[in-house]
Amino acid sequence: MAVDRPFRIVVIGGGVTGLTASHVLSKAGIDHVVLERGQEAAPPSGASIAIYPHGARILEQIGCLDEMLKITSPMERYVNRRPDGTVVMERDFWPQIQRNHGYTLMFFERRGFLQCLYDQLPDKSRVLLGKNVIRIKETPDEVEVFLADGTSQKGDIIIGCDGIHSLARQAMWDNADRISPGLITMKDRKAMMTSWTCLLGMAPPIPGMRNEFSAVHNDGYSFLLGKQEDRTFFFVFRRVKKPYSQYTRPRWTAEDADAAAAAVADHPITENLVFADLWRRRYRAQIVDIEEGILPHWFFGRTVLVGDAAHKITPNIAFGGNSGMESIVLLTNLLNRLLAANPNTKPSSATLRSIFQQYQDQRVPRMEKVMKFSNLITRMQAWDGGLMKFLALWILPYQMKETLAASIGDIVKGAEKLDFVPLKKRPSKIKWDDDVSASNMGTKGWAERKSWILGLSVVVVSVLWTFAPSGLKF
């Protein structure tokens, strides 16, 4: 196609993935606009976000890492606790992550993280706030997004970064239903199911609590607590009686949150504190569904989905935000190569379809691995069946101290980074997959092998889980 204007992308959604999209597309010199329906780039909602070394690499490439390090503080330890609040396992997890990968694991209030991403944008005029999408139109040659304020934005493709309840995804499905009836099946529409709910919130620091991230085991539910210098984040995960889809999900209210908190008010979260000690001091709290699933179709026509709109995992091990960042980085890499190789022409619909397919094919196996690992951690923390309880109490605590960090390292090292932005090498025990040359791909050092040797118990359970029927409790 001849060029009548520069190739342009309309990004729908301005959360973690959408703001990252603006950063990486700017680095690639690709014209774009981000449409965010909220009036603020960093609204006072949600709780926390953790950024692993593979997310930190991306932040360093887009020039945000130094500022991010200023708004977080290192955690002292990772702790697992019994239902009575006593410690069953303690690890110096943060230093191990730093040694393994050259970057620390960072923990933020979600709002602060978003604000820093927004503040460091090279061109804030590309992010339009208060833009509520009401309709999307696709033609063979372009897309147009119509907004509630009467304006519209045109482009060549749409990237849907608008989360689990994605409007871009629904519009994509509607378009597919018109053009290719039967392509989008119930497997797509019910790909993301809710098996867990979460009462989450934020409170001030509580006297007697260290700067730690801790999981408190219970039968069928768990607490997660993350304390920073000036605040404490809390999460209460509970398995639902029967998994449900987007079509039957409840609409949670403040009264529901109060009732959920009352049900666990007297349950210990440390040796000398109960959950009510946090709840009565809370700044804010809400109940949310914890969906899990990976869509069979991540694209159709000129629309492609990124982040939670395409792949959703449980947040217990905090890989969700990092995974969304990875996805937009890979998609940008592919688009950048395509546009650089054909500077005077626009890609055809067929060419874009090929790029989108390559993007999905590369991401699905990795997201399946991440989702299974996240699900396993969620189940172990909540003692979801006898085997999970046995692992949490009698296997993991007695493994070598490096086991958890090394097992996570096997996921971290395979991450994407921008392939057109230089990145300073840092000393690390575990090599990044993209740093391993073809000549030594078959040779793994002890650090890489250790992630499998030390994590054998987790791998065994993963295999059991893989071959067991969905939701089976051992």
Give the span between the Cα atoms of 405 and 229, in whole angstroms.
24
353-402 tens-digit pLDDT: 999 999 999 999 999 999 999 999 999 999 999 999 999 999 999 988 88
Residue pair 35/152 in contact (Cβ under 8 Å)? The answer is: no
How far apart, in Å, are the Cα atoms of 73 and each of 105, 278, 409?
10, 21, 21
pLDDT tens, position by position, 273-309: 999 999 999 999 999 999 999 999 999 999 999 999 9
Domain boundary assignment for the chain: 8-190+292-467, 193-291
What residue type is 149 in one-letter code? Answer: D
Rounded alpha-carbon distances, angstroms, from residue 457 to 69, 135, 187, 394 = 34, 49, 32, 11
| Both tokens assigned to 251 | 């609409």
The one-letter code for the residue type at 428 is S
Fold of 8-190+292-467: FAD/NAD(P)-binding domain (3.50.50)
Distance of alpha carbon 410 from alpha carbon 447, whole angstroms: 10
* Pick from 91-95, 156-160, 190-194, 373-377: least confident: 91-95
The pLDDT value recorded for residue 3 is 52
Residue 456 has pLDDT above 60, yes or no: no
The H or E element containing residue 197 is strand 193-203
The pTM score is 0.92
- H-helix or E-strand containing 391? none
Class of domain 193-291: alpha beta
